[in-house]
Structure 1
């Protein structure tokens, strides 16, 4: 039995749990099925009580071990994983646990404490920060959405005011036109009235004159007047032109609410882009891997060199599957190196004939590159290069593909006055990141861009001489401005970026011939400076954490064993 106690044993089932009490830690078990049915009726629950800190694993005090319910003179010093019950020496010797892998209960306690410690470390170092980031993104989303709704309300109110002004202006215009037309009509009517009033008065005067002539009894005088009489009836029979006036009806179109909505446009409904439920990766298979950090400088090993054939090698990108490496430099050719030793070379000529600025590989294994000269983002599908995006006034610089198969592109105005990061879903812009909460510019001259495992967006900026990190929602987190203890003691010149499987960020410091390794919070960890690097520029890491470093002023890409 001594050998059985000392050898390594499997961890007991997870029904064993810890609970906190005032005296210390208590290891509790589900005793309902151990040693027969007689114990199912017992109300007391045996436990191991020890004192100590969470970080330590103290030995249990033998006097604190509960007594065996079947053998009161013995204490529970053993544990049977198969039965999931504690046992005393008499229980074991009685044969109840014959051929079972009985363990020392102190070892069980230590193993369970170790499991809790490992889980707590993973929760504190990875899972909790992830949820902190999610909460930060949600808070940012809350502010952004609230702000956008306020903007829409402001626009709606402005629309209402504009519509009122338009209606008032149109009403005023119509009233003025109506007044002018009424004045013209009245003037014309008055002229017509005066003309016919004059004719009518002339007819009346003639009638009166004729009647006076007829009433005259002085025959000699009447004969003289009669002989001088001239008829004016012919003149009055010739009636001058006149006209009737009919005011046109005003029947304005009666606009319904639907007509106005169709003319103005409808309010768009908020779109919710689902982020699928997913499981966070396990950082460890055992405890050592859960807290591992990059190995120290002396452990980095150059596994090989790839000669690119460029005079100046600028950018590298790894495929997600298999052994494929995309490299570009000082020509209009992007080279693909494949095979176990990257000896197979294929050349892709850019669509415009210009030198590419940056390259990346999508989740679907499509090559994407930016063309600064003609302002385009291009994708390689099969043997054909297709233009994905054509920018106006802006120039695309750094590019990377995210875990959700979107593209993050750092772009700059042609006059270099502004820069921002744009997220594309295919060719559609779904996000723009340019300012901090206080409306300061985040970027001046973005050089490289990468997405970290926690979906932070990492950008190296040549002008700022810093690495700027924001959350997925674009909220500023921190900037990293180098470590003064570089071997060459030159100013920090951040270039290529890469992120490894545990969320560390690697930054190529071109002028200091080193690579900085920082954690996801921006804390410096170490330098990679033992691989005879010369002007490290572009970086990428494959799925097994092999690091590829493009040296700017050579034709080499070095493959470095970065992690143990």
Structure 2
């Protein structure tokens, strides 16, 4: 029964949909009123058999044979899965095939469809109706729930404003007190100096008077306190008080509070499908005012451009030679691997299973060095040249690459050697990544919120998309008088707080952004010189590969 009809409804004509049915076409299975019979019979494309509605009996409409136009197919070939006519049954084409009467097949199919209809109506359809009701309910309450979040943030802001106003007033009062002390000290010293000047002027006047006089007794009896005039005037050095900020305004978001991202779970047939498991709610850390250099590791390389690690014990590096070296934090060389092609590795990455991946632009391959030390060629590209790569939380590999004719750039996600995702254009069909034949370097990293972050050196930008490849934001550097060279990011990495770090090689610093692309601060101390490749270990220690010096620097920038 159709939705919306009641069992008491009369049957209406299938053509006009208005008048009560009186006739029935047994071959077309069509309900008709008397006025619509003529219109139905006017269709000469098929045969008709009109009977009174109460005399109706459905007749089978046998299909015509595709091979023998005049024959009807009353049998069904089970080997060929097709209706056949009597001539086909005796033909060589269906020799020794098994046949069943087509009405049996028809009846079996109808029974199956009846069961499917019952299953869909009784099981699937109600679930979709319930899902529709749930979604409408959630949408109805959406504004109210988000308004609660806005109220919570507003309340926190008001409390902070009150506390800040009290704190600012107290500091201003203290500044006034210090100013008064400063002024009093200077005034006392000034008063003393003025009295001394007056005494000096009187003494000078007396000396001049004696010098003009010829009175011998007066001259001999005049005495000067020479000790007073041997000293320099007393000098009071009062240093101004200084305001020492305990945190940068850029770090207030971490103290103020933060919004946890929404958690989306897709339920399918009773199962839950979730994003790759990532440790939730990491310990809250704050950026240090002054990052600290923990150690420097001299590698013996020049043109050092790659560094990747999982801990202090295995720090893998690469340069423009065919060697990939492994050091520990003490600077001891633990292992050396030669690339399979004898050419340099463009980039390195370590997976959760401790496999080492590297790209070889000469052979257009992505290779993996297993734990047993054997090197395998995992991916072979034809029309594309692999550049940089990173390992994801799920165990996939993200690879940036450019076309052989240097007209296109893209990013590809691989699971093993299988291509899973391509990121190349934005919603308007514009390229996400620049094509600059002079600089095709595009380092890549995955953030803990599964954003894909690319340092596009040729474009002078950090391009961030979400896990679906939709554009989130573009960071083009932070204006600074101290940094005169254009922003050209090279290495890029992310930490446990979802912060994005990228190496500004020509300006000898590291930019730190939050996960929404807001600039937080620089790391520009620790004697950085041409930082290039960077990575962060599981404890949020930063390792920086310096291009020209051949040194790896381990830096603590957060606690």
TM-score between the two structures when normalised by the length of structure 2 = 0.52
Q: Which residue of 2 aligns with 1:548?
A: 543
Alpha-carbon offset, residue 555 of structure 1: 1.1
Q: Equivalent residues in 2 for 1:121-132 (5 A)?
A: 125-128=258-261, 130-131=262-263
SS in 2 for 1:313: coil
Secondary structure in structure 2 of the residue aligned to 1:420: strand
Q: How does 1:428-447 map to 2 (within 5 A)?
A: 428-444=418-434, 445-447=440-442
Using the TM superposition, give the Cα deviation of residue 483 of structure 1 relative to its aligned residue in structure 2, in angstroms: 0.7
Residue of structure 1 in register with 2:351 after alignment: 362
Change in 2 beyond 3 A, CA 1:123/1:273:
farther
Q: What is aligned with 2:280? A: 281
2:334 corresponds to 1:345: yes
Q: 1:302 aligns with which of 289, 293, 317?
A: 293
Deviations 1:458-478 (A, max 9, x none): 001122110000001100001
Equivalent position SS for 2:258:
helix
- Quote the RMSD (CA, aligned, Å): 3.1
**What residue in structure 2 maps to residue 85 of structure 1?**
none
Match of 2:456 in 1: 461
Checking the alignment, whether the CA contact within 8 Å between 2:447 and 2:494 is kept in structure 1 is yes
2: CA distance between counterparts of 1:334 and 1:359?
9
Residues 477 and 487 in structure 2, CA contact (< 8 A), matched pair in contact too: yes
Shift of 1:440: 0.2
Q: Secondary structure at the match of 1:511?
A: helix
Contact kept, 8 Å, 1:323 with 1:342, in 2: the verdict is no
What does 1:175-324 correspond to in 2, within 5 Å?
274-275=273-274, 278=277, 281-284=280-283, 289=284, 292-296=285-289, 299-319=290-310, 323-324=313-314
Name the residue aligned to 1:423. Answer: 413
| 2:398 corresponds to 1:408 | yes
Contact 1:419 1:446 in 2 (8 A): no
Distance of 1:449 and 1:344 partners within structure 2:
27
Asked whether the equivalents of residues 354 and 371 of structure 1 are also in contact (C-alpha less than 8 Å), the reply is yes
Pair 1:391-2:390 in alignment: no
Matched, 1:478 2:473: yes
Distance 1:423 1:415 in 2: 22
SS in 1 for 2:288: coil
Q: List structure 1 runs of 4+ shifted beyond 3 angstroms.
A: 51-58, 120-124, 272-280
Q: What secondary structure is seen at the aligned counterpart in 1 of 2:464?
A: strand
1:57–1:461 distance in 2 versus 1, CA, 3 Å: closer
Cα deviation for residue 53 of structure 1 reads: 8.5
Q: 2:322 aligns with which of 297, 315, 332?
A: 332
Which whole-Å CA distance do the structure 1 matches of 2:502 and 2:381 have between them?
28
Distance of 2:477 and 2:160 partners within structure 1: 36
Larger of the two Rg values belongs to structure = 1
Structure 2 counterpart of 1:55: 159
Contact 2:276–2:393 (CA under 8 A) maintained in structure 1: no
Instruction: After TM superposition, give the deviation of residue 513 of structure 1 in Å.
Output: 0.5
Per-residue deviation at 1:273?
A: 11
**Quick one: distance in 1 between partners of 2:552 and 2:405?**
33
Contact 1:412 1:419 in 2 (8 A): yes
**Counterpart contact for 1:324–1:342, Cα < 8 Å:** no
Change (3 A) 1:465 1:273: farther
Contact 2:490-2:505 within 8 A present in 1 as well: yes
Distance 1:273 1:425, change over 3 A: farther
Q: Distance in 2 between matches of 1:52 and 1:305?
A: 43
Mapped to 2, the partners of 1:415 and 1:53 lie a distance apart of 54
Structure-2 change in CA distance of 1:322 and 1:275 (3 Å): farther
**Shift, 1:274, TM fit:** 4.2
Q: Confirm or deny: 8 A CA contact 1:469 1:479 kept in the other structure.
A: yes
C-alpha distance in structure 1 between counterparts of 2:369 and 2:406, whole Å: 28
Q: 2-side partners of 1:363 and 1:430: how far apart? A: 19
Closer, same or farther: CA 561–390 of 1 in aligned 2, 3 Å: same
CA contact (8 A) 1:486 1:514 kept: no
How far is the alpha carbon of 1:295 from its aligned partner?
1.5
1:52–1:378 distance in 2 versus 1, CA, 3 Å: closer
| CA drift at 1:275 | 3.2
Deviation at 1:487, TM superposition (A): 2.3
Unaligned runs of 5+ in 2: 1-150, 163-252, 435-439
Shift of 1:554: 1.5
Q: How does 1:88-99 map to 2 (within 5 A)?
A: none
Unaligned runs of 5+ in 1: 1-24, 26-50, 59-119, 139-271
- Quote the Cα distance in structure 2 between the aligned partners of 1:358 and 1:53: 45
Report the CA distance shift for 1:533/1:439 in structure 2 as closer, same or farther (over 3 A): same
Match of 2:487 in 1: 492
Distance 1:280 1:323 in 2: 23
1:488 to partner: Cα distance: 3.1
Q: Assess, with a 3 A threshold, how the Cα gap between structure 1 residues 57 and 335 changes in structure 2: closer, same or farther.
A: same
Contact (CA 8 Å) 1:514, 1:529: kept in 2 or not?
Answer: yes
Q: Evaluate the alpha carbon distance shift between residue 495 and residue 273 of structure 1 in structure 2; reply closer, same or farther with a 3 A threshold.
A: farther
The 2-side partners of 1:273 and 1:410 are apart by: 31
Please name the residue that 1:532 is paired with: 527
Deviation at 1:121, TM superposition (A): 8.2
Size of the aligned set, in residue pairs, is 309
Q: Distance in 2 between matches of 1:276 and 1:506?
A: 24
State the shift of 1:122 in Å.
Answer: 10
Question: For 2:260, what is the secondary structure of its paired residue?
Answer: helix
Superposed CA deviations along residues 109-136 of structure 1, whole A, max 9, x for unmatched, are xxxxxxxxxxx989972413x54xx69x
